[in-house]
Amino acid sequence: MGHSRDGRQLITLAQKLARDAERHALLSESLANQADRLMVAGLKILQTGSSPPPPPPQPPRYEIIPSASLAKGHQWVFDF
């Protein structure tokens, strides 16, 4: 009985490590891509002597109103 339990624990640990390694690989790839984009942007600034473009505008936020309020004649509220 002890061998099968130990075997299952090792398999479970191996699966967890494999999932963690995959997550770290994806995160590392994402960070590397971001670093590449920042490097290119920095090099362009140095070559042209201009400042970076402003950040893109934030998307609008929406306030969710419960359906009971809508039944009373209230409107959706958009916060722009």
**What does the pLDDT look like over 34-65, one tens digit per residue?**
888 889 888 888 888 766 666 777 766 665 55
Q: Is it the case that residue 80 has pLDDT exceeding 50?
A: no
Residue type at 41? A
What is the rounded distance in angstroms from the CA atom of residue 51 to the CA atom of residue 41? Answer: 10
Element (DSSP H or E) covering residue 64: none
User: Hey, where are the domains in the chain?
Assistant: 1-53
Q: Is it the case that residue 73 has pLDDT exceeding 70?
A: no
Rg (CA), the chain: 26
Q: Which residues pair with 77 in a beta bridge?
A: 63
**What does the pLDDT look like over 14-34, one tens digit per residue?**
999 999 998 888 888 888 888
The predicted model scores a pTM of: 0.44
